[in-house]
Amino acid sequence: MAATVSTRSLTARKKSQKVSETPHARKRLTRLSRSRPRTTRVVRTGRTRRHRYHERFTASSFMDDNFEGDATAGEDPIVRQAAIDALGNMNGTVLAIEPTSGRVLTMVNQKLALSSGAQPCSTIKLSVALAALSEDLITKSTEISLGRRSRMNLTTALAHSNNAYFEALGRRLGFEKVSFYAHQYGLGELAGYNIAGEQMGTYPQEEISYKLGGVGKM
């Protein structure tokens, strides 16, 4: 994906929007975080076993000065200011990359951006789609059966981030091909910019058990 950034002067920019939690919201978030289980919960349904995994979040959604200490040499100041304005005081990070060259235009809150790896979630669907297209398994209009009365093509599956569609592609491709293209996207790899503090994360060496869903559920 690519974004178009206006290069007009930002000297007259509006003050960054700040968001804060109300006392009621803070109490509710605290109560929710304490109620979330730390461990895996297994639910049995008939002959099948469904594994449900829960993460416990303890960090605040907001923070101040989340870009102090960033190394900004070589960054685009206009893109950086736009990212800072958009992030405000949210506890997050913004990374903008020029798609044609791979140049990092800005990285706001670098400490968080370069911390230990996180689950890629639905971004894994892009590498699965690339694998399927590159291996001539599908075209963008090829319909995949997802049930007795349900069929979907790549365009619709991406638009709706449909899990079942990409699970089906993953099973057809197999672990080796899914893994190969995931690494082409940089999962489990360093970015190659020699950035201090960067951690490359991990990528599984083999697929999970077929009973747990195999490659389609990874």
The contacts of residue 128 (CB under 8 Å, 6+ apart) are 166, 169, 170, 173, 178, 181
pLDDT score of 21: 58
Asked if residue 45 has pLDDT above 70, the reply is no
pLDDT digits (tens, 9 = 90+) for 66-112: 677 888 999 999 999 999 999 988 888 999 999 898 889 999 998 88
In the structure encoding, which two tokens stand for residue 44, read together?
């049995």
Asked if residue 167 has pLDDT above 70, the reply is yes
Higher-confidence residue of 216 and 138: namely: 138
pLDDT score of 136: 96
pLDDT score of 202: 82
CA distance 113 to 109: 6
CA dihedral sign of residues 103, 105, 110, 112: negative
Higher-confidence residue of 110 and 36: namely: 110
At position 203, the amino acid (one-letter code) is Y
Q: What is the DSSP string of 35-104?
A: HS-SS-EEEEETTEEEEE------S-SB-S-TTTT---TT--HHHHHHHHHHHTTBS--EEEE-TTT--E
